[in-house]
Structure 1
Amino acid sequence: MTSLLNALNAGKTSLLTNQKSIEIVGNNIANVNTEGYSRQRAELMQIPAVNFGDFFVGQGVTVSDVSRDYSVFINRQLQDKTIEYGEETGKSSSLSELERIFSVSEDNLASQINDFFDAWQELTANPSGEVERDVVLQRGQLLGEAFASITNELDTVVSNMNTEIIGEVEYLNEKITEIAKLNDRIQLVEISGQTANAARDQRDLIIQDLSETLGVQTYTDNRGMLCVQLPGGKPLVQGNLASTIKTVTVGTNVNLQLETTGVTMDIGLENLGGKFKGMFEMRDVFISDLRDDLNTLAIDLTSAVNTEHATGYGSDGVTGRLFFNDITALPAGEVASRNVKLAISDASEVAAAGNPTAAPGDNENALKIAQLEVTHHVATTGDTFDNFFAKMVANVGIEAARNDLALSGAEDAALQLQNLRDGFSGVSLEEEMIDLIQFQRGFESSAKFLSTVDEMMNALLQLKG
């Protein structure tokens, strides 16, 4: 009778184990399209045997754990490639705008520079002509407007980036706080010997998101909690404590600070990765260099024209006048490329002549100014005005082309790694159907076994009766 009771108990454990396994398979099938879900498996373990007479008799089977298919190696690779993809994404939108601003079309700053010096060239043919003098003034004004237009558009690009950064920070803080909460939840669940698979999947998904945006790094502390930090080592999550990212306005830019345990630290470019690193590099390095080059071109061009213009004479016989306002020493906060404006307003003030008499055919000074387009070299590089701007356009084009190539490569690599992760950790309906049939047969066999044992016990009881 005792042996039948042992058999009954073994059949019961088999029935319950197969039922639990079927539930796990059902959960896998239900989450086949859930982002970040890792396939779960029932880990089966036989119940230790007991000494029964001269034999050790088994006591059945139990589910010792519910594990998830997870590869640290694959997920690390995916995290690294996601950081790279995020960085190129952060540069992409602003580069598209810069390509439009620094286009190679006919209506760009280079064409305005050409038109300006062409107007002086035409003035050499008729130095006393009112129409030609008016055209010089108009072309000078249009040139200043072209400089200001590019400067304003660069400001718009930077302003849009600042707005995007502010919008992202609130979302990032929510994710950082969520990781701290998940750390706490996972520890509470697993300290009792269970496995918090759903919480771990959710945490991994958030880490991948933060990797793309901030380029975060992760490690496990001595309590088994996942710690998250910025590339430079500044902590975002320590156990169940979350730091807060804040935005601060410095001049016209938005910068980041990290507030953790009552301490506030600046977050510099060296502390960033992913999308934010790409955006800050574009804003603080690439676009800043473009601004400097544009200011250099504006100052150099206006200074060269002013130097020659001041030595010439207007049709009124006056000399020493500047053609453009002096932008070599502007007040703090003023931008040179936005202040390319005419210093004269009347056609008679255009200094085309090279001598005080300003004879009708005197075009000596107009020739000197017209020739500046090909004879003058920008001090910092030795290029002509046209070549200097052409290099700016080329730099934007080269960086945009590099970004397109790098973005495409990083996207493909991240997709391949994601497919590799899905192949290892994702749910395969074909495999789940095979497991379902296997556990269903096991359940049916256990039920049949229990039925048989029940019949045997009834027969035994009838014999005793």
Structure 2
Amino acid sequence: MGGLFHTLNLGAESLYASRQGVDTAGHNIANAQTEGFSRQRVNLEQRQPSETRGVMIGNGVFVKNITRAHDMYLEKQINDTNQNLGQSQARFEAMKPLEGIYSPELNNTLSSEMDRFFNSLQDLSNFPEEMTVRTSVRETAQNLVNSFRRIDSSLKMQRDDVNLRIGGEVGEVSTMLQEIARLNIAIKTAETINTPEVPDLMDQQDRMLRDLTKRIDINYYRGEHGMVVVRGPQETLLVDRGHPARFEVVTRGDGTNLYDVVVIDGSSHQPTVITEVNKRGRLAGLVQVRDHVIPDMLEHNNEMARTLVDHMNAIHQQGFGIKDFKETTGRNFFDLGGDRRNAAANIRLDGMIEESTDAISVASSPNAPGDNVMVNHMLRLKEKKLMGDGRSTMQDYYASYVGGFGLDLVRSEQIQKADETLTLNLNSRREAISGVSMDEEATNLLKWQANFTASSKVITTIDEMLDTVLQMKR
């Protein structure tokens, strides 16, 4: 009788193993389209045999564990590439809107407005007393002022937009760190009670880590009980067991209202500013555009405004106007309001010229209405090499820095596409290893079904044998 019950137990164990195989195959099929899911497999192991009457008798099978098809080293490669991809994507996305500020399709580009201004000065040289010509000079000068201001305000608006994106990215990173820490506890608990859900929890955590690597430069490893430890820039401890670091932004105290990224980890409880030391991920790309690309463009615009104002005023102060201004000199053409550092934002026409075009000084001597000496000096500024330490004219300088930005934008797009291709290839390799094949899983279902049928047959056979034994006793 003991032998029959032993065989009955073998059949029951085999039945359980087959059912677990069917469940796992069904689980794989159900999650075939789930992002980040890794195909799972049932690992069976034979039980230790036992000796009965001098013969070693097998004790059947048991489900050792359920594991996922996962390549740890490939996962590291993917995450490393994700950091480069996140940076190049964010950099290109943040730079692309800047292209519209300098688009040649605009009718009021700085270059075209400067041409119109100097053309109007040419007309003034020919007709220094003509009121309509003087009005045209004032209008084209005002349009040039507006063009400087438009570029300045547009760049600052884009900088503020990128700054808000940085705040949004930091909020998402903070949420991810909390979720990774929560999954750490769940994985530890699951491994402790030896449940089969650990592969699913690790898949969720790996997916979260892939998203996190797109946003910030991190290193991580799995430690005790499968829990992941995440470190950020400057060795800041972002996740340790169930404890996430505080990841937040603080406003700079320089009056710009721009954000610095700050980490307060659990070990030091001291804030660590990682704005500049974080070199990869979306945050790095956004910070680079906000703190380097846009400020460089702003400074180029300011430098052009300062140069134009200084040289125009230096000439205009020596000249004489007409009518009420025919005997007075020393007037500026443009005004910066005392703030040379932000010249493009503060440039405007001199108040006297705004009130009367008679104040435009083109004569080199008083009471000489037909004199055009000073306006000819102003005209020569167009061809003078005033920019770049005397290497280029203002128009050449504008074309050079706008062209340099265009090349940088093209390079950024090319780098993004290269990173996307590399990431796509790595993800394809991961899919080949961890992805679910519907054909394979359908075959597995048939296999496990056959095993289940055979195991059931063992049980029914033993049941019949037990019934025969009981009938013999009666």
TM range (shorter): over 0.9
Structure 2 partner of 1:172: 173
Change (3 A) 1:340 1:159: same
Deviations 1:62-98 (A, max 9, x none): 0000101111122112112221221122122322211
> Which residue matches 2:48?
48
Distance 1:295 1:330, change over 3 A: same
Match of 2:448 in 1: 439
Relative to the length of structure 2, the TM-score reads 0.93
> Which residue does the alignment assign to 1:254?
259
Q: What per-residue deviation string (whole Å, max 9, x for no partner) do you get for residues 343-388 of structure 1?
A: 132222111112234241x111111101111123214462110111
TM-score, normalisation: structure 1 = 0.94
**Deviation at residue 141 of structure 1 after TM alignment:** 1.2
| Partners of 1:179 and 1:206 within 8 A in 2 | yes
Which residue is 2:94 aligned to?
94
The answer to whether the Cα contact below 8 Å between 1:214 and 1:277 also exists between their aligned partners in 2 is yes
**Aligned counterparts of 2:390 and 2:290: Cα–Cα separation in 1:** 23
SS in 1 for 2:202: helix
Matched, 1:217 2:219: yes
What does residue range 88-237 of structure 1 map to in structure 2 within 5 Å? 88-105=88-105, 106-194=107-195, 196-221=198-223, 224-237=226-239
SS of equivalent residue, structure 1 residue 414: helix
Q: Say yes or no: does 1:320 pair with 2:330.
A: yes
Counting matched residue pairs gives: 461
CA contact (8 A) 1:87 1:274 kept: yes
Q: Which amino acid aligns with 1:292?
A: E
Any conservation in 1 of the 2:149–2:346 contact (CA below 8 Å)?
yes
Deviation at 1:131, TM superposition (A): 1.6
Q: Percent identity?
A: 28
Partner of 1:365: 374
Note if contact 1:323-1:350 (Cα within 8 Å) is conserved in structure 2: yes
Cα-to-partner distance string for 1:215-255 (whole Å, 9 max, x where unaligned): 33212345642111224322211221111122222222122
- Of the three residues 271, 274, 280, the one matched with 2:278 is 271
> What is the one-letter code of the residue matched to 1:131?
T
Q: Which amino acid is 1:351 matched to? A: S
Q: What are the Cα deviations for residues 381-407 of structure 1, in whole angstroms up to 9, with x where unaligned? A: 621101111112112211221122222
Aligned counterparts of 2:104 and 2:401: Cα–Cα separation in 1: 11
Partner residue of 1:285?
A: 292
Task: Give the CA deviation at 1:456.
Answer: 2.5
Asked if 2 retains the 8 angstrom alpha-carbon contact of 1:11 and 1:450, the reply is: yes
Do the aligned partners of 1:217 and 1:228 also contact (CA within 8 Å) in 2? yes
Structure 2 residue 23 is matched with structure 1 residue 2 = no
CA–CA distance in 2 between the matches of 1:385 and 1:420? 53
Q: Distance in 2 between matches of 1:441 and 1:80?
A: 44
Question: SS of 2:260's equivalent?
Answer: strand
With 290-299 and 341-350 compared, the bigger mean Cα shift is at 341-350
Distance 1:54 1:428, change over 3 A: same
The counterpart of 1:423, out of the listed 398, 415, 432, is 432
Q: Which whole-Å CA distance do the structure 2 matches of 1:169 and 1:79 have between them? A: 19
SS in 2 for 1:407: helix
- Deviation per CA, 1:266-311, whole angstroms, max 9, x where unpaired? 1222225211111100000110111111111110111111111122
Which residue matches 1:308? 315
* Kept in 1: contact 2:264–2:272 (CA 8 A): yes
Q: How does 1:292-303 map to 2 (within 5 A)?
A: 292-303=299-310
Q: Which moved more, 1:186-195 or 1:112-121?
A: 186-195
Cα shift at 1:464: 4.2
Aligned to 1:311, the other structure's residue is in SS state coil
Q: Secondary structure at the match of 1:271?
A: coil
Superposed displacement of residue 18, structure 1: 0.5
3-state SS of the aligned residue for 1:64? strand
Task: Give the aligned CA root-mean-square deviation in angstroms.
Answer: 1.8
Instruction: In structure 2, list runs of 5 or more residues that go unmatched.
Output: none
Partner of 1:404: 413
